């Protein structure tokens, strides 16, 4: 007989802890090797080799970089606001990891007669015969992703440096400008699906053997969301808060050692989350041919879509130059925002005429 805690079998708690650990380790390893992949891919695009010396073809380079940063001297400027300076990297990093909790990365796995959903914030109701998750999962992600910018702004202000302050101000203005368009872009998906639950959104793309993706119905919404998300996480060509040619290193100019590394971990963790969310909303998530029959295929499809979108992010960095700040604001407020509003109107009209 299973040991019961608070009315639930022990296996549910073991499964929950296992899912948290697996997801955390997966994101952590992906973040580490995204830096390696970026350097290698951009290197080959520029007819270079990239990292080659540490391990076979440089495979141990992320580990070497991590060890180096861990043992480097940690400097806190004497004129900085010490507590805010120390806490800022954590505020930037933690929301980047916890947003992964509501993203479904697979279907249902049966363990010892119990059905375990491959989603951290989800459980399988045996009476209803379906998975229940956070029914406002998308709102949770938008809320958590908005918190990360506070860490960047706090880092810019607490450093007591002109370069850092300008980087922090740019980050806050950029977040406000592009989060609005990103949020409006996914409204069209909510209009099609009728729910904010990410699990339900994935399940509604399961027709045609898992190929009924929303990107085919909402290609403009996918483009808007992906571009605005790049701006939110400060990726090229929207990396104005760092802008090495103007602001040295922007908001993290005064940081060193692991605090410096934590900002870059946050950036790449945000990239993982953005790509995972784009795959979930527009590319069917873990759905694909025979994913319902063979449970292992679900996570494999999800990882393949995630890594493809991450490759696109790297490809964009290798291809496009950085925007000027006035161009950044113009694009956000005068192009993307009106287009995202127009997309909602068109989606509503099309839906109305189809239903009538």
d(CA 331, CA 98): 30
Instruction: Say if residue 237 is preceded by a cis peptide, omega within 30 of 0.
Output: yes
Identify the pLDDT of residue 278.
94
3-state SS assignment for residue 146: helix
Residue 115, Ramachandran bin (φ over 0: left; ψ between -120 and 50: alpha; else beta): beta
Our CA dihedral for 91, 93, 97, 98, rounded to 10 degrees, sits at 0
**Residue that the structure tokens 């009315």 belong to:** 7
What confidence tens digit (pLDDT) does each residue in 61-117 have? 989 988 888 888 888 887 778 888 888 888 888 888 888 888 998 888 887 777 888
Say how many C-beta atoms besides its own lie within 10 A of residue 353's C-beta.
8
User: Which of 308, 327, 77, 81 lies closest to 215 in space, CA to CA?
Assistant: 308
Q: How far apart are CA 229 and CA 274, in angstroms?
A: 7
User: What is the residue-level pLDDT of the chain in tens, covering all 356 positions?
Assistant: 345 445 567 777 888 888 899 999 999 999 999 999 999 999 999 889 888 888 888 899 989 988 888 888 888 887 778 888 888 888 888 888 888 888 998 888 887 777 888 888 877 777 777 777 888 888 888 888 888 888 888 888 888 888 888 888 888 888 888 988 999 999 999 998 888 889 889 988 888 887 889 999 999 999 999 999 998 888 888 888 777 677 777 778 888 888 888 888 888 999 999 999 999 999 988 888 888 888 889 899 999 999 999 999 999 998 988 888 888 899 989 999 999 999 999 999 988 888 87
- Residues in contact with 337: Cβ distance below 8 Å, sequence separation at least 6, in sequence order: 180, 181, 184
Number of Cβ within a 10 Å radius of residue 179:
19
**What residues contact residue 239 under an 8 Å CB cut-off, 6+ apart?**
322
């Amino acid at each position: 007989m299973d040991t019961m805690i608070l009315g639930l079998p022990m296996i549910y708690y073991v499964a929950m802890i296992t899912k948290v650990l697996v997801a955390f380790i997966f994101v952590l390893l992906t973040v580490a090797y995204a830096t390696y992949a970026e350097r290698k891919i951009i290197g080959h695009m520029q007819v270079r080799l990239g990292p080659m010396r540490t391990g076979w073809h440089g495979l141990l380079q992320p580990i070497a970089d991590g060890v180096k940063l861990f043992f480097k001297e940690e400097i806190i400027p004497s004129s900085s606001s010490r507590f805010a300076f120390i806490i800022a990297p954590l505020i930037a990093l933690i929301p980047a990891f916890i947003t992964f909790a509501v993203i479904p990365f697979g279907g249902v796995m049966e363990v010892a007669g119990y059905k375990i959903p491959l989603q951290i914030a989800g459980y399988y109701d045996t009476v209803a015969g379906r998975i229940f998750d956070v029914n406002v999962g998308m709102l949770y992600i938008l809320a958590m992703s908005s918190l990360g910018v506070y860490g960047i702004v706090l880092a810019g202000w607490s450093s007591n440096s002109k370069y850092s302050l300008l980087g922090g101000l740019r980050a806050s203005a950029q977040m406000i400008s592009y989060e609005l368009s990103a949020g409006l872009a996914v409204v069209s998906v909510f209009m099609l699906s009728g729910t904010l639950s990410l699990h339900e959104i994935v399940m509604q793309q399961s027709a045609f053997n898992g190929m009924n993706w929303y990107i085919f119905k909402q290609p403009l919404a996918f483009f808007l969301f992906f571009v605005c998300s790049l701006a939110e996480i400060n990726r090229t060509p929207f990396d104005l808060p760092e802008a090495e040619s103007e602001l040295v290193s922007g908001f993290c100019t005064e940081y060193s050692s692991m605090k410096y590394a934590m900002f870059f971990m946050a950036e790449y963790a945000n990239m993982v989350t953005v790509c995972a969310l784009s795959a979930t909303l527009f590319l069917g998530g873990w759905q694909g041919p025979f994913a319902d029959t063979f449970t292992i295929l679900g996570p494999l499809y999800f990882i393949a879509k995630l890594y493809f979108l991450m490759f696109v992010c790297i490809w964009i960095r290798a291809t496009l130059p950085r925007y000027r700040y006035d161009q950044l604001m113009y694009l956000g407020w005068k192009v993307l925002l009106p287009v995202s509003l127009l997309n909602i109107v068109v989606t509503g009209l099309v839906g109305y005429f189809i239903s009538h």
